[in-house]
Amino acid sequence: MKTKTIETTFVELEGENDLSDEDKVLLEQARKATKEAYAPYSSFHVGAALRTKHGAVVRGSNFENASYPLCLCAERSAIAAARSAYGSPKIDCMAITASTDKAELSNPVTPCGACRQVLFEVEQIQGSPLKLILEGKNGKIWVLKTVSDLVPLAFDGTFLR
């Protein structure tokens, strides 16, 4: 019997000052996207903004439905929008923010399992890291260099071939 351990590394920033200028812009766009969310059922507003390799910024926000399982997450909305606009762009970075009156959000909000899986696939097909910048309500920011750090023991296309 062997016990195996997987470690994840991420950077915690006290505020946006330690981000590069282009990452600050992306975070600001994610905050804007949070305001564009349609979330009357959960009151949990999520905004995502991604930056392509060529510098285009695309926003996405969650879009809920009275039939709850149909809710669209912000992250996947942004990826679908980017692919609609630009084909299959390489995505260097995605910033994600959230806002709700119902909870503290003292830690940055991390993507749900479904979004992690989709972001992981994006990273696999583009063959380069997709950095994540996650912001909570108290200004704390987490930066993950790659989606892989969020999806240990990931299921991917190699299992199907």
- Catalytic residue numbers read 75
- Tell me how far the alpha carbon of residue 128 is from its chain's centroid: 16
Is 62 a binder of ligand THU (CB under 6 A)? Answer: yes
Amino acid at 158: T
Residue 70 · residue 103 · CB < 8 Å: no
Site for ligand THU in 83-102 (CB under 6 A): none
Is 75 a binder of ligand THU (CB under 6 A)? Answer: yes
* Binding segment toward ligand THU, per CB under 6 A, in 9-17, 20-28, 42-50, 129-137: 42-50
- Kindly tell me which of 51 and 76 has the beta carbon lying closer to ligand THU: 76
* Binding segment toward ligand THU, per CB under 6 A, in 86-94, 108-116, 117-125, 142-150: 108-116
Is 111 a binder of ligand THU (CB under 6 A)? Answer: yes
Site for ligand THU in 20-39 (CB under 6 A): 39
Is 134 a binder of ligand THU (CB under 6 A)? Answer: no
Is 118 a binder of ligand THU (CB under 6 A)? Answer: no
* Pairwise CA distance, residues 161 & 154, whole Å: 15
Question: Which pair of tokens denotes residue 136?
Answer: 């909570």
- Binding site residues, ligand THU, CB under 6 A: 39, 42, 44, 46, 62, 64, 71, 73-75, 111-112, 115
